[in-house]
Amino acid sequence: MTPTSDNPVALTSAQLALIRRIVAKRLPDATVRIFGSRARAKAKPHSDLDLLVESDAPLTLRQRRLLADDFDESPLPFRVDIVEYAELNNSFAASILARSAPLAMAKPVDEASR
């Protein structure tokens, strides 16, 4: 299934709100997409969350550390992996983009039936 704004991601509304707050705090100008099993709503409860970051400049080591620290210290019950778009080869990037959901538009599973 290709995610759209109508298909839910495997996150609750509380988890999604927390992820959006952390991303907005640390990467306010970046475009962030959810990919992997959570984007396809196929995740198990403790499956990791894969985030694809698109930004004008590469993330600094400090940005990566602060972002990792924020996620590690959060109550999220899963690991969050950050991947930068610029680090991917073209075919893998295209594959991820085709199967990803924009973080800003993602709909949580607990709101899917509304």
Q: Is the pLDDT of residue 4 over 70?
A: no
Angle, CA of 78, 64 and 58, to the nearest 5°: 130
Asked which of 7-11, 37-41, 49-53, 103-107 is least confident by mean pLDDT, the reply is 7-11
- How many CA atoms lie within 13 Å of 76's alpha carbon, on the beta-carbon side? 27
Active-site residue list: 48, 50
Residue 83 CA from chain centroid, whole number? 9
Q: Which residue has the higher pLDDT, 80 or 90?
A: 80
C-alpha to C-alpha distance for 75 and 18, rounded to whole angstroms: 9
Asked if residue 84 lies in contact with residue 14, where contact means CB atoms within 8 angstroms, the answer is: no
- Average pLDDT, stretch 8-21? 93
Q: Is the pLDDT of residue 7 over 80?
A: no
pLDDT in tens, 16-73: 999 999 999 999 999 999 999 999 888 888 899 999 999 999 999 999 999 999 999 9
Has this prediction a pTM greater than 0.95?
no
Asked if residue 66 lies in contact with residue 59, where contact means CB atoms within 8 angstroms, the answer is: no
Residues in the chain: 114
Structural domains of the chain, ranges and CATH numbers in brackets: 8-111 (3.30.460.10)
